[in-house]
Amino acid sequence: MEILEVKDLTKMYGSGDTQVTALDHVSFQVKKGEFVAIVGASGSGKSTLMNLIGGIDRPTSGDVIVDGKEIFAMSESALAIFRRRNIGIVYQFYNLIPNLTVDENIMLPCLLDNRKPDEQKLSKIVEMTGLSHRRDHLPGELSGGQQQRVSVGRALINDPAFILADEPTGNLDSKAGREIMELLLSANRKANQTLILITHDENIALQADRIITISDGRMIRDEVMRV
């Protein structure tokens, strides 16, 4: 069973003459441990695709099946909880809670479930982000690259079915961007963490095992880079 199945996904906006098809019957599957890059130009539909896979938006038709569960068959509240427990999202603009420390931001998905994560696991993840000496700092005291590393830590804490990263290096300089890619790659290879990364940057996409290309709402290519 694949960890993610996207089935005939379609998203249309508007109606009649002004109807826009953002996503047109896109289907693909992702296996556990795969690193897939989804590439496309601005306006290609890749962000729409990401929002649908993450359960943040609902499709006009089609299904997204995560770890065997049809996510759009759930209610909004159930989906929010499912997402918290099963999907790790890394955004382009970090989206950390400004008045929580590094530790607390990473732990957030667990705290929302009213439980504390395993201390060892938390330490391991903090160490991976390279911020062991700044655990009690607030996001405002960190650089962009450091904040993004906290985001990645937050995405990993719950051992999600997959990590969804939307242009994770888009807001970073090249050095910080490289560090984030190394962090994500390391989680992918060491913990067999499935990684789905949306990007318009070819050089980043070339680091993936598989590249899916979206153009005008359609999947025009699905290329395996490393077998």
Partner 1 sequence: MWIRKKELLSLSEGIRRALDGQPFDPRNNKEGAFSILKNDIYTLTHSGQEQKNVLAEEKEHLAEYLSDISHQLKTPISSILLMTELMADAPEKTKQEFLQSIKKEIRHMEWLVTALLKMAKLDSSVTNFHREEIPVSLLLGEALKSVEIILDIRNQTICLKNDLSLYCDKKWTGEALINLLKNASDFSVENSEILVDCGENPLYHWISITDTGEGLKKEQIARLFRRFESSGKENGYGIGLPLALSIMRGQNGDIAVSPGGHGSGATFFMKFYK
Residue 16 CB, nearest approach to partner 1 (Å): 36
CA atoms in the 13 A half-sphere facing the CB of 55: 28
Question: CB neighbours of 226 closer than 8 A, spacing ≥ 6?
Answer: 209, 210
Angstrom distance (rounded) from CA 214 to CA 36: 13
Amino acid at 110: C
Angstrom distance (rounded) from CA 105 to CA 101: 6
Which single residue is written with the structure tokens 């420390």? 101
* Beta carbon nearer to partner 1, 173 or 182: 182
Strands in 20-30's sheet, in edge-to-edge order, are: 20-30, 4-13, 61-66, 69-70
Residue 13 CB, nearest approach to partner 1 (Å): 28
Angstrom distance (rounded) from CA 24 to CA 61: 10
Residue 98 CB, nearest approach to partner 1 (Å): 25
Residue 24 CB, nearest approach to partner 1 (Å): 25
Write out the residues near partner 1 by the rule CB under 8 A: 1, 31-32, 68-69, 74, 77-79, 81-82, 85, 113-115, 128, 130, 182-183, 185-186, 189-190, 202-203, 206-207, 211, 223-227
CA atoms in the 13 A half-sphere facing the CB of 170: 14
* Beta carbon nearer to partner 1, 19 or 226: 226
Residue 142 CB, nearest approach to partner 1 (Å): 17
CB 41 within 8 A of CB 215: yes
Residue 2 CB, nearest approach to partner 1 (Å): 9
Question: CB neighbours of 42 closer than 8 A, spacing ≥ 6?
Answer: 200
Radius of gyration of the chain from Cα atoms? 17
